[in-house]
Structure 1
């Protein structure tokens, strides 16, 4: 029986699917939602076949660990066991390991991106304009260089099926108002600084990440939501390899293996080819390694 069918038997109805997570609601749990991470993997705006076995459980495990490390309000109903202890009917074990019971929030239409290093799309933009998302940067920086200080580069969360759009801070003010825009920026930079210090103490560099926030309708607090500091939402590097330099210094603990393979085996037209078993396993191993490095 599928996860949907088993949850339906427990009176959870499927409400929404993103690229990775599924959202369920229940009339017996007003003001709450069940967020279940799948094993789906996406790249270049396509969900790929096959998924990464165990990925949903790994992402959930890492999010829950980070929620426990950070001194900021988050969306969990309870701060232990993913909030699931508050359920009157327990979930099937293979669903529970991928699930969080969360408060329903009024979500802000912003991805709060923080970059501590110049890499990825930021590096591409810097080469053209010596700036990232309109923020001027010093001359002479190279791919992968640490920025003088972390920068906040928000994006507009586009409707499903459309591309997110990098926006200026001024545009976030237009979207959510000056007070909330300023608070989200400050929270994002503060959480990034705290998480970076925790990661560095474990020999891992947090290069960049994205957060999502919503307002708790009961308390009015701006609240950290969705996933946090996972391999899907963040770029992590091995600090020792980075310091040594060389071609592997920017190897990340995420699905970059998938992106690289796909980029060399697909012209981005039509349906992406199936991922080979060795690519699937190597990617899963990187997800597992990051969790072991951070939580040991």
Structure 2
């Protein structure tokens, strides 16, 4: 396999036939040894986190496929902690889309003068550029359009898909007594068809989840949710 990219939490390989292999790692994002799905650096390594994230990702992507949500998912290999996906092209150098149900994390840091920690939000969607040097700056619909990253129509598709995916994840977690505070998603264009589709993963490593008012770390979340 040809190594395409070494990421923070996954390595990416090119497969024969045009698909791509994602190899999950035990690293998670954070700062000073504390998990933070919004951080742009590896903060700690949790043994078993790669397989844990893959198990949740498999569950959610298969659920989304049942509901007709376009994704890059093909199949998973839990023994090798890897997932085969369709090839995708990024928007520019990559975008991250966050759907927020509670005021925490970077939202609270920016807007704390106007809200309280944990304040309810109505599926607030924001887009950030994947740019470690500039701390993943938020970007508006108009800026995305003027910079040639997304047309206004594509932005509307992205926002709708984000809310649809996040709502499904939120409801699935709620059925287990867990509350989704926010979730970070990634999208790309199908390299063959150009269709906008969900890419990357859906796991404890890219969401904040609480139970009885207490934050659940990713590895514990997978156990609570799937066991």
Same fold (TM over 0.5): yes
Task: Specify which of 111, 115, 121 is matched with residue 100 of structure 2.
Answer: 115
Q: Is the 1:199–1:205 Cα contact (8 Å) retained in structure 2?
A: yes
Query: How many angstroms does 1:63 deviate by?
Result: 0.7
Q: Which has the larger radius of gyration?
A: 1
CA distance in 2, matches of 1:156, 1:234: 18
1:67-86 matched pairs, under 5 angstroms:
67-70=61-64, 71=67, 72-78=69-75, 82=76
Q: How many residues align?
A: 212
Task: Specify which of 14, 17, 22 is matched with residue 35 of structure 1.
Answer: 22
Residues 1:288 and 2:190 aligned together: no
Which residue of 2 is the match for residue 266 of structure 1? none
CA distance in 1, matches of 2:201, 2:86: 14
CA distance in 2, matches of 1:161, 1:170: 22
Which residue of 1 is the match for residue 42 of structure 2? 47
Query: How many angstroms does 1:77 deviate by?
Result: 2.4
Query: How many angstroms does 1:252 deviate by?
Result: 1.9
Task: Specify which of 175, 178, 182 is matched with residue 152 of structure 2.
Answer: 178
Task: Specify which of 82, 103, 119 is matched with residue 99 of structure 1.
Answer: 82
Change (3 A) 1:191 1:48: closer
Which residue of 2 is the match for residue 64 of structure 1? 58
Render the CA deviation track for 1:130-169: whole Å, top value 9, x for unaligned. Answer: 3xxxxxxxxxx4211212x1111110122x6552111122
Matched position secondary structure for 2:74: coil
Task: Specify which of 164, 169, 175 is matched with residue 141 of structure 2.
Answer: 169
Matched position secondary structure for 1:196: helix
Q: Is the 1:75–1:224 Cα contact (8 Å) retained in structure 2?
A: yes
Query: How many angstroms does 1:211 deviate by?
Result: 0.9
Query: How many angstroms does 1:46 deviate by?
Result: 4.4
Residues 1:22 and 2:11 aligned together: yes
Query: How many angstroms does 1:40 deviate by?
Result: 2.0
Which residue of 2 is the match for residue 223 of structure 1? 197
Q: Is the 1:153–1:169 Cα contact (8 Å) retained in structure 2?
A: no
Normalised TM-score (structure 2): 0.85
Structure with the higher fraction of residues in helix conformation: 1
Any runs of at least 4 consecutive aligned residues in structure 1 with deviations exceeding 3 A, and if so which? 44-49
Query: How many angstroms does 1:206 deviate by?
Result: 0.7
Q: Which runs of 5+ in 2 are unaligned?
A: 32-39
